[in-house]
Amino acid sequence: MNKHERTDQELVQAVLAGELETFAELVERYERLVFSFLLTRLNDLQEVEDIVQETFVKAFRHLASFDCERRFAAWLLTIARNLLIDSRRKAGRSVASTNLVNEVMLTDSAREAGSQPSEIVVRRERFRSIVVMIQELPEELRTPFLMRVINELPYQEIAEILDVPLQTVKNRIFKARGILREKRENYEKMS
């Protein structure tokens, strides 16, 4: 954060003071976090989009109730988690599927344009296996792990967002990495 960048609390106060467009800055800042939080929990990316949108609209609507002593990201994830539970209850789903793998790895990805077809296949298979293994992690390990790897958040920030001690965050991330490593070794032995 550079010195001209406003804090979450300042942005919230600005929105409440009438600067409606300032809310876009909060969306920009945390949309990726909410998106990745929902990514391995939902059936398809369209549903992820809908809940991300609903999360921010709901946050905007209840912005005056936001406790500025809390982290804005933690509050957003609480809203997202509640919407996710509602969504699953309505749809009668309890587990995420791996359909997102097909959506994530686009066939016409610019990044893969210059690659050999065999490389593309291996890469997609590897990505698919990683996603499946992550989805098998317990949520208490999966969430800090994804925050760490995808959002590249420092431990301290993850601890504040999840409201757990710093050491707990470290332990959970190490445990997640250990499980993934073991799964990968088993996967490689089988294939």
Partner 1 sequence: MKRCPENDKILLFCEHELSEVERAQFELHIQTCSECREEVKQISSDDSLLREGVEEAFSRHRVTSRIMQQIRSEKIEPLPANNQRGWRYFWLTAFALLTVFAVASLYMPAAVKYHGRATGVMIQALTDNSTLQGAHLAADQTFDLAAFEPAALDGCFLFTVTADQTSVFKISGSTGIRRSEGLLEFFDTTATFELISGARLTIIVNGKRQQLERKTVFSTTAAAIDDLQPDAVSLAGLDRPLTASTTAEADAIITSDEADTASSADQAELASITTGLSAEAGTGSDSLIDQTPGSGKNPFADEPLDLNGN
CA gap 120, 91 in Å, rounded: 34
Q: Which stretch binds partner 1 (CB under 8 A): 2-10, 80-88, 90-98, 166-174?
A: 166-174
Q: Could you give the CA distance from residue 86 to residue 127 in angstroms, rounded to a whole number?
A: 29
Spatial contact of 35 and 75, defined as CB atoms under 8 Å apart: no
Give the Cα separation of 19 and 177 in Å (integer): 43
Instruction: Determine contact, residues 83/51, Cβ cutoff 8 Å.
Output: yes
| Cβ neighbours around 51 below 10 Å, total | 22
Residue 132 in the binding site for partner 1 (CB under 8 A):
no
**In the chain, alpha helices (H):** 8-16, 23-39, 45-61, 72-91, 100-104, 117-135, 139-149, 155-162, 166-190
Does residue 42 bind partner 1 (CB under 8 A)?
A: no
**Burial class, 105, CB count within 10 angstroms (exposed 0-12 / middle 13-18 / buried 19+):** middle
**Binding segment (CB under 8 A) for partner 1, from list 1-9, 76-84, 135-143, 145-153:** 145-153
Q: Tell me if 89 contacts partner 1 by CB under 8 A.
A: no
- Amino acid (1-letter code) at residue 91: A
Contact between 39 and partner 1 per CB under 8 A: yes
- Minimum gap (Å) between residue 90 Cβ and partner 1: 20
Taking contact as CB under 8 A, which single stretch among the options 1-9, 24-32, 69-77, 79-87 is the one that binds partner 1?
A: 24-32
Interface with partner 1, residue 24, by CB under 8 A: yes
Q: Amino acid identity of 36?
A: S
Exactly one of 9, 13, 43, 53 binds partner 1 (CB under 8 A); that residue is 53
Q: Is 109 in the site for partner 1 (CB under 8 A)?
A: yes
Residue 173 binds partner 1, judged by CB under 8 A = yes
One of 6, 9, 14, 31 touching partner 1 (CB under 8 A) = 31
Q: Which positions touch partner 1 (CB under 8 A)?
A: 15-16, 20-21, 23-24, 27-28, 31-32, 35-36, 39, 45-46, 48-49, 52-53, 56-57, 60-65, 67, 100, 103-106, 109, 111, 123, 126-127, 130-131, 134, 149-150, 152, 170, 173-174, 177-178, 180-181, 184
